[in-house]
């Protein structure tokens, strides 16, 4: 029979469960985050390290120490191994690639012409490094102090301004073999805001304000006066055409950056991310495509593993403009600071009603569909 856990128990459980992905199932040599736990997919061998995911992992380990799930000394030992690995791994103008080989430290190409620096994944990793620095910097313990210093040195080595090509915008990729051929500009609003904030605050490789204004903010084109379900959009969601993008666009920058009261001359990011979450919730309730199972406790679209309508599986960045009937638990759960009541409904649904079905050894599964009775383990 289902166990009914209290909300406090649920929060404790999900935090300790998610830690397992970054602790018990970390890549064995580097101790960083693996791209995925199941390795029967192409490019998914057990030694593929996800650079951005490793930044999330660094933060999660700090939470694990704080919650008493792991000992500080064990964590410091492991974090030291991870940062020593990052120091020796392939870097391109200070930036790491999207994927690394956990054994050799060499770049693993992520896609065509993408065998060098990935500035966005680097930003996700860097916000984790800064958290490690802040957590240990005032310690009197030599190993902890050294760890803080190493984290600081690694972040300060990223040459953010190199990625402008002398233009007023940041570019996502650079390859030693193909240069800037991918040509992807970082322009808002999506998950890449943190890249500009880190670039602006870099002590040695800073960008000018114009790079932020013209690149990220599109000279004010980031502003959106429209609304959905009576909720102001605030920002133009990159390529979402008067709608909202996948939920992770409002998550990844705000792991290391508090959106509350955060604004620039164009928009208030606290409003933008809360409204993104509220619109996503309303979209799921409205359920315009009529998927089975969407409800006030089973909701949320973001990037995850997916099942396509033809039954094939693979990655998809789910959103209202790309709704395949797949719920990704991280969408609603990571909205906890934005929509606490609606997100708590989801956590109860997963652990109190469907623990056997939708929760695995390291927390909620990546994605499932009530409509198709499908789940990715």
CB neighbour list of residue 83: distance below 8 Å, 6 or more residues apart = 129, 132, 147, 150, 151, 154
180, two tokens: 């800037």
DSSP 117-179: EEHHHHHHHHHHHHHHHHHHTT--SHHHHHHHHHHHHHHHT--GGGGGTTSSS-BSEEBTTTB
**With the CA atoms of 282, 304, 114 and 40 taken in that order, what torsion angle do they form, in degrees rounded to the nearest 10?**
-170
Geometric angle at alpha carbon 208, from 206 and 211, rounded to 5°: 110
Neighbours of 370 (CB within 10 A): 19
The two structure tokens encoding residue 262: 């955060």
Cβ atoms of residues 363 and 56 within 8 Å? no
Query: What confidence score (pLDDT) does residue 45 get?
Result: 81
Residues of the chain with pLDDT under 50: none
What residues contact 68, with CB distance under 8 A and at least 6 apart?
Answer: none
Contact between 13 and 5 (Cβ < 8 Å): yes
Q: Are 332 and 346 in contact (CB under 8 A)?
A: yes
Query: Of 132, 130, 10, nearest to 72 (Cα)?
Result: 132
pLDDT given for residue 41 in this prediction: 60
Tell me if residue 49 falls in helix, strand or coil: strand
What is the SS3 assignment for 198?
helix
What are 17's two structure tokens? Answer: 């469960």
pLDDT in tens, 259-293: 999 999 999 999 999 999 999 999 999 999 999 99
pTM above 0.95, yes or no: yes
Cα–Cα distance, 164 to 170 (Å, whole number): 5
Q: What distance lies between CA 315 and its chain's CA centroid?
A: 15
Q: Is the dihedral of CA 94, 57, 263, 235 positive or negative?
A: positive
152 forms bridges with which residues in the sheet?
none
The two structure tokens encoding residue 120 = 């966005």
For residue 216, is it left (φ>0), alpha (ψ between -120 and 50) or beta? Answer: alpha
Beta bridge partners of 231: 228
């Amino acid at each position: 029979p289902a166990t009914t856990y209290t909300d406090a128990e649920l929060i404790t459980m999900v935090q300790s469960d998610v830690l397992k992905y970054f602790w018990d199932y970390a890549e064995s040599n580097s101790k960083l985050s693996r791209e995925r736990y199941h390795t029967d997919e192409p490019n998914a061998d057990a030694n593929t390290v996800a650079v951005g995911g490793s930044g999330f992992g660094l933060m999660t380990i700090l939470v694990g120490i704080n919650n008493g799930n792991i000992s500080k000394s064990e964590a410091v030992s492991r974090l030291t191994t991870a940062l020593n690995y990052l120091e020796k791994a392939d870097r391109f103008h200070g930036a790491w690639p999207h994927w690394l080989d956990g054994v050799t430290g060499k770049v693993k190409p992520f896609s065509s012409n993408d065998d060098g620096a990935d500035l966005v994944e680097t930003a996700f990793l860097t916000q984790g490094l800064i958290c490690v620095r802040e957590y240990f910097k005032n310690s009197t313990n030599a190993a902890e102090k050294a760890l803080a210093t190493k984290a600081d040195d690694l972040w300060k080595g990223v040459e953010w301004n190199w990625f402008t090509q002398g233009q007023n915008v940041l570019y996502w990729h650079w390859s030693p073999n193909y240069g800037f051929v991918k040509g992807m500009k970082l322009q808002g609003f999506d998950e890449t805001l943190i890249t500009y904030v880190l670039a602006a605050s870099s002590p040695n490789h800073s960008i000018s304000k114009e790079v932020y204004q013209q690149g990220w903010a599109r000279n004010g084109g980031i502003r959106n006066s429209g609304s959905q379900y009576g909720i102001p959009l605030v920002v133009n969601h990159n390529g979402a055409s008067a709608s909202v993008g996948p939920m992770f666009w409002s998550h990844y920058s705000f792991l290391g950056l508090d959106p509350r009261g955060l604004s620039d001359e164009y928009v208030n990011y606290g409003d933008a991310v809360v409204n993104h979450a509220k619109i996503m919730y309303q979209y799921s309730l409205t359920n315009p495509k009529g998927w089975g199972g969407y409800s006030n406790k089973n909701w949320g679209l973001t990037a995850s593993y997916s099942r396509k309508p033809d039954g094939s599986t693979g990655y998809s960045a789910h959103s209202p403009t790309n709704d395949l009937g797949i719920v990704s638990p991280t969408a609603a759960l990571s909205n906890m600071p934005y929509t606490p009541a609606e997100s708590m409904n989801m956590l109860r649904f997963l652990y109190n009603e469907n623990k056997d079905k939708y929760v695995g050894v390291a927390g909620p599964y990546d994605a499932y569909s009530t409509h198709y009775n499908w789940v990715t383990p």
